[in-house]
Structure 1
Amino acid sequence: MKTLFIGISCFISSFLLSQQKEEFRLVKNYYNQHRTMLNKEFKKKFDAESNTVKKAEIKGDFLFFMKKMDSIENNALIGALLKVRNLEDLHTIKNPKLTPSEYFSDAEKTADYPGGINSLRQEVANLLYVDGVYSEEKTIKTDVAFIVEKDGTVSNVHAQGDNFTFNRQAEIALYSLAEKFSPAMIKGDPVCYRFKIPLTLTMTD
């Protein structure tokens, strides 16, 4: 069993890249549709079977297929992550002036996720695909930095830790957040805001 403990801290800077969250939404919608279809077919088969042993076998097959679906979806999300990263890097190359130029230490209002920090922690934990994390260590850590844009979307997600697979899954989870943030404000105007989220994954037998 793997347990995720999340600590939140934040700091702020100015970035102007847009979020590419749509790439992740499309992948998730596609695989959720297939899960729904599989669920219906297995349910029909399960309901039509009267033998309890065969019912248990059908349930086992269903769980096996769903686990495979999760793995296949994760591969697609890794592809989406690479595409998003390339697009953001390309945007930075084409717009060299869009690098951090000032820090907003006097923000009147910081960026907030709907429901607050605890909701953000919970959603990141729920979105993290722990079966995609491989480690011989019992406890692994990473620091994930990302930008909350002026429109509340997320961009430039970068995780820095010793375990590459944990870094990758953490980045996918942040890009896959369902809701927008309310942006940080200075003098009534939205500004870009940089969060840093320390993540710790503890794996137990």
Structure 2
Amino acid sequence: MKTLFIILSCFISSFCLSQQKEEFRLVKNYYNQHRSMLSKEFKKKFDAESNTTKKTEIKGDFLFFMKKMDSIENTALIGALLRVRNLEDLQTLKKVKENVSEKSLNPQKAADYPGGLNSLRQEVVDLLYVDGVYSKEKTIKTDVAFIVEKDGSISNVHAQGDNFTFNRQAEIALYSLAEKFSPATFNGDPTSYRFKLPLTLTMDEK
């Protein structure tokens, strides 16, 4: 069993690049539609079968196909991550270097996720594809930094840790968040804000 423990903390930055979250939404919608179709077909087959042994076999086949679907979707999400990273890197190259502003250093209201940090923590846990994390170590860690933009979207998600696969899955999970943040503000005006999200994954194989 793999257990994810998350500690949240935040710090501020003046960086501001647009989020390409649509890439991840399209991938997830596509594979969710296929899951729905597969579920309906397996349910028809399961309901029509009267033999208990064959019902068990159908259920096993269904679980196998769903697990394969998760793996295929993860490959597509990795592709989306690479495309988004390239777009953000290009935007960074085009952007004129700016000095850190006073409002970015000292916002009067920090950015906040709907439902608070506990909701953010739970959604990251739910979105993390732990089967895509490979490690010989029992405990692995990463620090995920991301920008909350003025419109509440996120960008520049970068995870830094010793395990590349954990870093990658953490980045995908953050880009896949369903909701926008309430942006940070200074004198009533929205401003960019940086969160730092330390993650620790404890892997207990049984």
Same fold (TM over 0.5): yes
Q: Deviations over 1:142-187 (max 9, x none)?
A: 0000000000001000000000000000000000000000000000
Gaps of at least 5 residues in structure 1 are none
Runs of 4+ in 1 over 6 A off after TM superposition: none
Q: Equivalent residue of 1:114, what SS?
A: coil
Aligned to 2:177: 177
With over 3 angstroms needed to count, the CA separation of the structure-2 counterparts of 1:2 and 1:51, relative to structure 1, is same
TM-score by length of 1: 0.97
- One-letter code of the match for 1:61? D
Aligned to 1:151: 151
With over 3 angstroms needed to count, the CA separation of the structure-2 counterparts of 1:66 and 1:139, relative to structure 1, is same
With over 3 angstroms needed to count, the CA separation of the structure-2 counterparts of 1:175 and 1:50, relative to structure 1, is same
What is the deviation of 1:20? 0.4
- One-letter code of the match for 2:92? T
Gaps of at least 5 residues in structure 2 are none
Alignment check: 8 A CA contact 2:14 2:105 kept: no
Aligned to 2:116: 116
Q: Deviations over 1:40-73 (max 9, x none)?
A: 0000000000000000000000000000000000
Identity %: 81
Alignment check: 8 A CA contact 1:13 1:100 kept: no
With over 3 angstroms needed to count, the CA separation of the structure-2 counterparts of 1:100 and 1:25, relative to structure 1, is farther
Output the CA distance in 2 between the equivalents of 1:45 and 1:154: 43
Aligned to 1:81: 81
After superposition, residues 7-86 of structure 1 pair within 5 angstroms as 7-86=7-86
What is the deviation of 1:107? 1.3
RMSD: 1.0
TM-score by length of 2: 0.97
May I ask how many residue pairs the two structures share in their alignment?
204
